[in-house]
Amino acid sequence: MKKILTPTDFSPVADNATKYAIEIAAAFKSKLFLYHVYHMKKSDYDLNFSNDKQPFRKKVKLDMKKTMEKFKEIITQKKLTVKTKVYQGNIFSLFGRTVKKDGIELIVMGSKGASGMTKVIYGSVAANALEKSKIPLLVVPPKFTFKPLRHIVLAIGHKDVSREILSPLQKLVTEYGAKVTILTINRDPKNDTKREEDINLDTAEITYREVPLSKSINHSISKFIKDEGDIDLLCMVRRQKSFIESIYKKSITKSQVYNNKVPLLILPE
Please say if the pLDDT value at position 112 is more than 90. Answer: no
- pLDDT-above-70 percentage for the chain: 81
Average of per-residue pLDDT across 88-107: 84
- Between the CA of residue 257 and those of 90, 195, 221, 229, 235, what are the distances in Å? 22, 25, 12, 18, 11
Please say if the pLDDT value at position 229 is more than 90. Answer: no
CA gap 9, 261 in Å, rounded: 21
Average of per-residue pLDDT across 151-160: 84
**Amino acid 131: pLDDT:** 66
Q: What is the pLDDT confidence band of residue 23, given thresholds at 50, 70 and 90?
A: very high
Phi, then psi, of 137 in degrees rounded to 5: -125, 125
**CA diameter of the chain:** 72
Please say if the pLDDT value at position 166 is more than 50. Answer: yes
Query: Do the two domains 3-140 and 151-268 of this chain adopt the same fold?
Result: yes
Q: How confident is the prediction for the chain on average, in pLDDT?
A: 82
Q: What is the pLDDT confidence band of residue 234, given thresholds at 50, 70 and 90?
A: very high
CA gap 117, 114 in Å, rounded: 9
CA gap 28, 75 in Å, rounded: 14
CATH number of 3-140: 3.40.50.620
**Amino acid 27: pLDDT:** 96
**Amino acid 198: pLDDT:** 67
Question: Considering only CA atoms, which of 220, 231, 237 is closest in space to residue 261?
Answer: 231
pLDDT in tens, 197-213: 667 777 668 888 888 88
CA gap 24, 47 in Å, rounded: 43
**Amino acid 158: pLDDT:** 66
Please say if the pLDDT value at position 45 is more than 60. Answer: yes
Angular region, 193: left φ>0, alpha ψ -120 to 50, beta rest: alpha
CA gap 110, 7 in Å, rounded: 9
**Amino acid 247: pLDDT:** 37
According to the CATH classification, is domain 151-268 in 3.40.50.620? yes
CA gap 21, 17 in Å, rounded: 6
Please say if the pLDDT value at position 235 is more than 60. Answer: yes
Domain-wise residue ranges, the chain: 3-140, 151-268
pTM for the model: 0.86
Please say if the pLDDT value at position 79 is more than 80. Answer: yes
**Amino acid 68: pLDDT:** 95
**Amino acid 19: pLDDT:** 96
Q: What is the pLDDT confidence band of residue 134, given thresholds at 50, 70 and 90?
A: confident
CA gap 23, 263 in Å, rounded: 13
pLDDT in tens, 167-196: 999 999 999 999 999 998 887 766 655 555
